[in-house]
Amino acid sequence: MPVHEGAKTSGKIETRLFINNEFVESISGKTFDVFNPYSEEKVASVYEALPEDVDKAVDAAEAALPAWEEMGAIARAEYYYKLADLLEAAGPELAELESKETGQLASRYRENAVGAKGLRMFAGLASDLNGATSLAMPGHVNMVIRQPYGVCGAIVPWNVPILAAIFKMGPALIGGNTLVLKSSEKSPLTALVLARLVKEAGFPPGVFNVLSGYGNPAGAAMASHMKIRKIGFTGSARTGRLIKEAAAKSNLKRVSLELGGKSPLIIFDDANLEAAIPAAAISIIALTGQVCIASSRLYVHSSIADVFQEKLIQAIKKMSANSPEGVDPSSPEAMHQPQVDKAQFENVLKYIELAKESGGEIVLGGKRQTEKGYFIEPTIIRNPDHDSRVSKEEIFGPVLCFNTFEDEDEVMKRANDSEYGLFASLYTKDISRAMRIAKRFESGMVGVNTTSPMTTAPDMPFSGWKASGDGVDLSKASLDLWTQMKTIYIKI
Ligand code: NAD
């Protein structure tokens, strides 16, 4: 994990839209403000895309499409290698900027490094952009080829803005599509740095466009746009439903969704606690719980639950110490980050209030951490009711539901009783049990003797079951999702 001590920005912060390889003001000239969640001060006024700007970006993407598609994937991959190098070099700038707009700890910033690895993996997939042939029909050689959808859209969240963008642009552009990406209104600044790097890497104009703006109107205009043929979305299940609805009511564009989670982590009585305790702590502390795969529901075997709880509390306290005034997340000594904004801060505090009614006991934290900034104490709720809102809903904060269990069938029933199915993990030394549980989990990704967030590999599918989505990020599977099949019959 690279550490960017004394991170620096390269000067002026870019606030314009990125269309056709140019930074431009929005047509209306309208702007919105981005605030620092540590200081609560304004960081920048950013140009806001309205539907007319969406049209302009879509037109640029449409004009760029034929040449980009015709170029071929191997040539397109060359741009990815250049962009990956530029992204790695931009680490300090991105770390500082993201820290200002979302409160992410600059010292633990690694989105640029993971993103660069992802880009190189997608470049490698250029040689996998192929279909199939068949001789099964007498007198024929038949084939399936894979082609781009055309102009596509990506709508991404704020918690990992660079990674979310690369997870969409990676397969979309190598597959020959062109893209209009809308960043989150909470984190538009780092996406504009990515746009600048795309231009520096030499991508042709119009291939990749970035719009800053709100879900409504800009995101909604994309979801119902008649020229956009596919949208890749990462965000909440609530917004995912709206986008599918808008797609159904417009041109039936393809929509792939990567949504939220409420991930279970099961600790069996034979688990290696030296490994499991710090891993459980990091999983709920990283990005202060604002991670889709955070292990937010812990199930510990009752025979070790009290010892586990005590050591977990020690580990979390050590990892998230903060002074009463808070520490600027962009400074190297910062240990704990604030929630991204006032709305998110109030939402998490509301859940902590609900915890008090859930029948559970708050054994750690339970209130705001500092007087200034949106810091919340890491919070553990012991034994909340299984059907309570804190146990069922995604809180997206440093709030852990700590449950105990007696036997495997009982814990699996509770672990799987969730609308979500993104990630799940377990710790045990028994290999048969590990594989049995991995198979029984109703989730798209499983960790065995490891847990999130240390579980993402570029060549492995990142995807959810149930209400956690129907898409795939990363891996060859994501490339298949950004191209469409065509069957050709050839009579010989
Ligand atoms: P969100 O759904 O509020 O917003 C996501 C994006 O959708 C933003 O860009 C927003 O402007 C846009 N949007 C909002 N309303 C829209 C509309 N009506 N039409 C079109 N676009 C609209 O989510 P968020 O708060 O930014 O992100 C947090 C959520 O994202 C959590 O649920 C988290 O679990 C999820 N997430 C999932 C993954 C994953 O890979 N599965 C990764 C990161 C985050």
Same domain, 167 and 73: yes
pLDDT tens, residue by residue, 160-187 = 999 999 999 999 999 999 999 999 999 9
| Residue nearest ligand 1's atom 23 by CA | 235
pLDDT of residue 323: 76
| Residue nearest ligand 1's atom 28 by CA | 235
**Is there a domain that residue 103 lies in?**
yes
Rounded to whole angstroms, the Cα distance separating 277 from 446 reads 18
Q: How far is the CA of 159 from the centre of ligand 1 (A)?
A: 9
469 DSSP β-pair partners: 258
Question: Does the pLDDT of residue 5 top 50, yes or no?
Answer: no
Same domain, 231 and 328: no
Which domain CATH number covers 339?
Answer: 3.40.309.10
Rounded to whole angstroms, the Cα distance separating 164 from 157 reads 7
**Is there a domain that residue 464 lies in?**
no
- Residue 437: which H helix or E strand, with range? helix 431-440
Q: How far is the CA of 222 from the centre of ligand 1 (A)?
A: 14
**Is there a domain that residue 54 lies in?**
yes
What is the 3-state secondary structure of 183-252? CCCCCHHHHHHHHHHHHHCCCCCCCEEEECCCHHHHHHHHHCCCCCCEEEEECCHHHHHHHHHHHHHCCC
**Is there a domain that residue 155 lies in?**
yes
Q: Work out which ligand 1 atom sits closest to the CA atom of 160.
A: 43
Rounded to whole angstroms, the Cα distance separating 318 from 378 reads 11
Q: Work out which ligand 1 atom sits closest to the CA atom of 214.
A: 11
Same domain, 138 and 114: yes
401 DSSP β-pair partners: 297, 381
Q: How far is the CA of 259 from the centre of ligand 1 (A)?
A: 7
Q: How far is the CA of 419 from the centre of ligand 1 (A)?
A: 17
Rounded to whole angstroms, the Cα distance separating 241 from 254 reads 13
Give the whole-number percent of the chain exceeding pLDDT 70. Answer: 98
Range of the domain at 223: 17-259+469-491
Number of domains in the chain: 2
Pocket test for ligand 1, best of 155, 163, 399 (most atoms within 8 A of CB): 155
The residues carrying an active-site annotation are: 258
**Is there a domain that residue 2 lies in?**
no
Over range 258-274, report the average pLDDT.
98
Q: How far is the CA of 158 from the centre of ligand 1 (A)?
A: 8
Question: Given pLDDT bands bounded at 50, 70 and 90, which one contains residue 9?
Answer: very low
Over range 73-78, report the average pLDDT.
98
Same domain, 255 and 323: no
Rounded to whole angstroms, the Cα distance separating 442 from 419 reads 10
| Residue nearest ligand 1's atom 8 by CA | 184
Q: Which residue has the tokens 């633990």?
A: 108
Same domain, 167 and 186: yes
Q: How far is the CA of 464 from the centre of ligand 1 (A)?
A: 15
Q: Work out which ligand 1 atom sits closest to the CA atom of 239.
A: 2
Q: List, chain by chain if needed, residues with CB within 6 Å of any ligand 1 atom.
A: 155-160, 182, 184-185, 214-216, 219-220, 223, 234-236, 239, 242-243, 258-261, 292, 394, 396, 422, 464, 469, 473
pLDDT of residue 11: 62
**Is there a domain that residue 10 lies in?**
no
Pocket test for ligand 1, best of 184, 262, 463 (most atoms within 8 A of CB): 184
Same domain, 67 and 121: yes
Same domain, 133 and 179: yes
Average pLDDT, the chain: 96
Same domain, 185 and 282: no
Question: Does the pLDDT of residue 8 top 60, yes or no?
Answer: no
pLDDT tens, residue by residue, 125-171 = 999 999 999 999 999 999 999 999 999 999 999 999 999 999 999 99
Task: State the first-to-last Cα distance of the chain, in angstroms, to the nearest integer.
Answer: 57
Q: How far is the CA of 80 from the centre of ligand 1 (A)?
A: 26
pTM, 2 dp = 0.96
Same domain, 30 and 174: yes
Q: Work out which ligand 1 atom sits closest to the CA atom of 242.
A: 18
Q: Work out which ligand 1 atom sits closest to the CA atom of 260.
A: 34
| Residue nearest ligand 1's atom 20 by CA | 219
Same domain, 133 and 151: yes
169, 208 contact by CB (below 8 A): yes
Pocket test for ligand 1, best of 46, 163, 236, 455 (most atoms within 8 A of CB): 236
Distances (CA, A) of 422 to 164, 257, 267: 16, 12, 18
Over range 327-347, report the average pLDDT.
94
Q: Work out which ligand 1 atom sits closest to the CA atom of 157.
A: 26
**Is there a domain that residue 8 lies in?**
no
Over range 460-486, report the average pLDDT.
97
Over range 237-253, report the average pLDDT.
98
* H-state helical runs in 10-50: none
pLDDT of residue 10: 46
Which domain CATH number covers 119?
Answer: 3.40.605.10
Q: How far is the CA of 210 from the centre of ligand 1 (A)?
A: 16
Same domain, 487 and 410: no
Rounded to whole angstroms, the Cα distance separating 327 from 375 reads 10
Q: How far is the CA of 50 from the centre of ligand 1 (A)?
A: 18
pLDDT of residue 253: 98
Q: Work out which ligand 1 atom sits closest to the CA atom of 473.
A: 40
Same domain, 255 and 268: no
